Amino acid sequence: MTHFDRIRAELGANPRKWLVTGVAGFIGSNLLEALLELNQFVVGMDNFSTGYRHNLHDVREMVGEEKWSNFVFHEGDIRNIDDCRKACRGADYVLHQAALGSVPRSIDDPVATNASNVDGFLNMLVAAGEANVKRFVYASSSAVYGDSPHLPKVEDRIGNSLSPYATSKLINELYADVFARVYECKWVGLRYFNVFGKRQDPKGAYAAVIPRWIDSLLNFHKPVINGDGETSRDFCYIKDVVQANILAALSDSGDSANKAYNVAVGDRTTLNELMGLIKASLVRHIPEVAAIDPEYGPFRKGDVRHSLADISRARDLLGYSPKYNVGGGIEESIDWYIADSRSRQKAKLATSV
């Protein structure tokens, strides 16, 4: 039995009350599903700026009505401190996922990114402190490493920010550190490295690369690779991110609080390699995909060339142990995207009859 298995068993026997912000989003909805499966009481908040009601409907179908009854939803905005206070009331733990993601989006609209990622974050810190939550766990990002050339990325060594998004996440870490020293709050920051998995939105100008490519291939379109395809990333499957959040909230190690942690696998995959994995997995379901080759476009402004995480801090202090490599995560993700695509097609046909 792993450390995370023991934590899950303990949680099932002693339910807590959790607040998940951004609960209708990709990561938030996966956290909601995992916590409800563990018979936890969950409050969720979202303003649906990037989250979707259908994600909540999907979780409801997955967990069943009995477990769904342990969930309370507040439609609210982290930019409104009264909404934050209402959502935090009575919570044992906060898993703060609400934010405006995407480096390109932040370059296009830095004001909106700052409003959600900095002002909203500060509101949540204040509200969580007033509610005396036991631990405030929040989504940071590998983007804080900026132009640092060092690999693997170690938490105490960062470079200059390359985008407003990266700056907003760095400011989160600075604010959290101040609140620990001034207000004695306990927090954990999780620096996500290229998270992927079910319910990640494939549409829109700021869609992440994995769902966007899967969606293109499912629709027999040529996926676009930015640059020469030799850019590399440490891709992390959503179930390992769920693990990290729960461990971060419940870790009782004396040294675990008030630190930032890399959340990744600790391995690099180039975009060309990633394309090969996605096509190989899809071909099992749709053989015609084998004939679709990608197109290459320009490099994206604000992107780093290579990213690889050192996960030893999370392993040693939180007990984090990723269970999925990128290939295993891709296969599970594609199974979900194909099932979801077929479900949507059936629903569309039913409404057109």
- List C-alpha distances in Å: 18 to 41, 92, 124, 189, 263: 6, 6, 14, 17, 21
Exposure letters 95-117 (e unless 16+ CB within 10 A, then b): bbbbbbbbbebbbeeeeebbbbb
Q: Based on the number of CB atoms within 10 Å of its own CB, is 68 exposed (0-12), middle (13-18) or buried (19 or more)?
A: middle
Please say if 165 is a catalytic residue. Answer: yes
Nearest to 145 by CA among 160, 133, 134, 131: 160
For 252, the 3-state DSSP assignment is coil
**Catalytic annotation, pick one of 138, 165, 237, 320:** 165
Q: Based on the number of CB atoms within 10 Å of its own CB, is 295 exposed (0-12), middle (13-18) or buried (19 or more)?
A: exposed
Answer whether 222's CB lies under 8 Å from 182's CB.
no
- List C-alpha distances in Å: 96 to 32, 83, 127, 235, 284: 12, 14, 12, 21, 37
Measured CA angle at 188 (ends 185, 191), to 5 deg: 145
Residue 255: Cβ within 10 Å count: 10
Q: Is the preceding omega at residue 152 within 30 degrees of 0, hence cis?
A: yes
Catalytic residues: 165
